[in-house]
Amino acid sequence: MDNDLLMVAGFVLVFGALTPLLGAIADRRLPRTSLIVFLTGGVLFGVAFAGHAYDIAEIPMAFLRVVARVLH
């Protein structure tokens, strides 16, 4: 897989699972599903950064490249 796609997928999974994860912790419940999604996103994000050293300015362009590839 492409490093850009891995980074964007990891980013979306991490931030998509963040709200349910915090909500479950606040309700004193075990956040099983959101924790699995959060960790999966973190692994994807880590794999993307291990394969390619992204600069901070490069991250928005990676999102645009993935969106352009999906829409094209």
Q: How many domains does the chain have?
A: 1
| b (16+ CB within 10 A) / e for 6-29 | bbbbbbebbeebeeebeebeeeee
Q: How far apart are CA 45 and CA 3, in angstroms?
A: 9
Lowest mean pLDDT of 1-5, 9-13, 35-39, 62-66, name the range.
1-5
Q: How far apart are CA 16 and CA 8, in angstroms?
A: 12
Residue 1's pLDDT band (boundaries 50, 70, 90)? low
Domain span at 62: 3-71
Task: Write the single-letter amino acid at 62.
Answer: A
Average pLDDT, the chain: 92
pLDDT at 51 over 80: no
Query: Residue 53: its pLDDT value, please?
Result: 81
